[in-house]
Amino acid sequence: MNKPIYEKHFSRSFCLAIIETWCKGESTDPRQWTEKQQPRKPFLVFERKDSSVDCYYDPEGIVWIKNELRNKLETDNNFIEKVKEELSKRISNLSIYFEKSTPLNLGELKGFVIKLRNAWVWFEAFWWLIYLLEDENKLEELNKLLKFRKESEEFVPKSDVIIRKSIKNIFPNLDEKYFDVILLKEIFSEQIPNNEILERRLNHYFYTYKTLFENINQKDLEKKYNINLETVKINKDITQLKGDSVYPGKVVGKVRKIMSVNDVHLLKEGEILVSSMTMPDFIVAMDKAKAFVTDEGGILCHVAIVAREMKKPCVIGTKVATKVLNDGDLIEVDADKGVIKILERI
């Protein structure tokens, strides 16, 4: 029997507490939009490396989610509105935290995380519904979600910021770099591991199905769960990348990789923003950039929406742009054809 290949879908710079919530919300917590449970275990695998976290999904688990959503659409004409209403209600329950300028204390943070988990199951339904409607080219239904897309796009980044600020408030003497790698149970018990353990997590970890693996390599993890993680071969000598155009135009400029909000200030006027995927906190950099190139994306992703609003050339879904391109490389972005040419390497 062939092992399933888990496909890489996202790369983000979120803290471990968000990764935990994400994983539980999509693979272990009871769902509210369906009475059924995700049959694939594990459904997601997260791997931290190179200061960001890659997220791998079992494609059979994705098929299960889309089938469940399709069934809901076929049996409930109001299902799209229900998903929007339920997610909006839960985001509203979190808005008091989003609007609060001061960090949370330990008790407040516990309450926030409970509400965050309660919202995540509907967040899952909303996003996979977008992918399903894209797959089936149901533009009328997609348009119903487009306006709500903006309301929901800051849900996860803002939650990440709240958790980081709160960790700083609760543990004022803890080095900020370790905020990325602390489990929720460690925060709530106020039992933070020693720096040696935290440093090891900073370099690498796997997280899947309620479990953090700190001392395991990819082969051992794959053997434990009888899976394979997708690997993309990177040819550093290639001179051209291909992706999907979401706004046309052709420009030439220097690369600036923005992998997290901490990098936003580095982008200079007229550079080309290259990222795994943009987030709302990237707007300052996007205002300055000539064009956008990402590894990931769909027609309703953040960068696609912003590119259309700003009328700037944008190519998404290259898969390897952040691995192949380096700061200072001179590239041509031909978003008419979805092609990026490397004109000069630093």
Boundary (domain end) residue, out of 171, 202, 228: 228
More confident residue, 28 or 254: 254
Residue 233 within a domain: no
More confident residue, 63 or 302: 63
- Verify that 137 and 211 share a domain, yes or no: yes
Give yes or no for residue 17 having a pLDDT over 90.
Answer: yes
**How confident is the model at residue 117, as a pLDDT?**
92
pLDDT band at 138 (very low <50, low <70, confident <90, very high): confident
- Verify that 208 and 269 share a domain, yes or no: no
- Verify that 245 and 214 share a domain, yes or no: no
Domain that holds residue 105: 5-228
> If you average pLDDT over every residue of the chain, what do you get?
92
The count of domains in the chain is 2
Q: What is the mean pLDDT of residues 210-233?
A: 94
Give yes or no for residue 261 having a pLDDT over 90.
Answer: no
Give yes or no for residue 37 having a pLDDT over 90.
Answer: no
Give yes or no for residue 234 having a pLDDT over 70.
Answer: yes
CATH number of the structural domain spanning residue 288:
3.50.30.10
Residue 234 within a domain: no
Q: What is the mean pLDDT of residues 201-212?
A: 95
- Verify that 40 and 183 share a domain, yes or no: yes
Give yes or no for residue 72 having a pLDDT over 70.
Answer: yes
Residue 74 within a domain: yes
- Verify that 76 and 149 share a domain, yes or no: yes
- Verify that 218 and 316 share a domain, yes or no: no
> Picking from 96-110, 113-127, 149-163, 256-270, which range would have the lowest pLDDT averaged per residue?
149-163
**How confident is the model at residue 1, as a pLDDT?**
60
Residue 235 within a domain: no
Q: What is the mean pLDDT of residues 82-90?
A: 93
Residue 15 within a domain: yes
More confident residue, 291 or 25: 291
SS (HEC) of the chain: CCCCEEEEEEEECCCHHHHHHHHHHHHCCCCCCCCCCCCCCCCEEEEEECCEEEEEECHHHHHHHHHHHHHHHHHCCCHHHHHHHHHHHHHHHHHHHHHCCCCCCHHHHHHHHHHHHHHHHHHHHHHHHHHHHHHCCCHHHHHHHHHHHHHHHCHHHHHHHHHHHHHHHHCCCCCHHHHHHCCHHHHHHCCCCCHHHHHHHHHCEEEECCEEECCCCHHHHHHHHCCEECCCCCCCCCCEEECEEEECCEEEEEEEECCCHHHHHHCCCCCEEEECCCCHHHHHHHHHCCEEEECCCCCCCHHHHHHHHHCCCEEECCCCHHHHCCCCCEEEEECCCCEEEEEECC
- Verify that 246 and 109 share a domain, yes or no: no
Boundary (domain end) residue, out of 173, 197, 228: 228
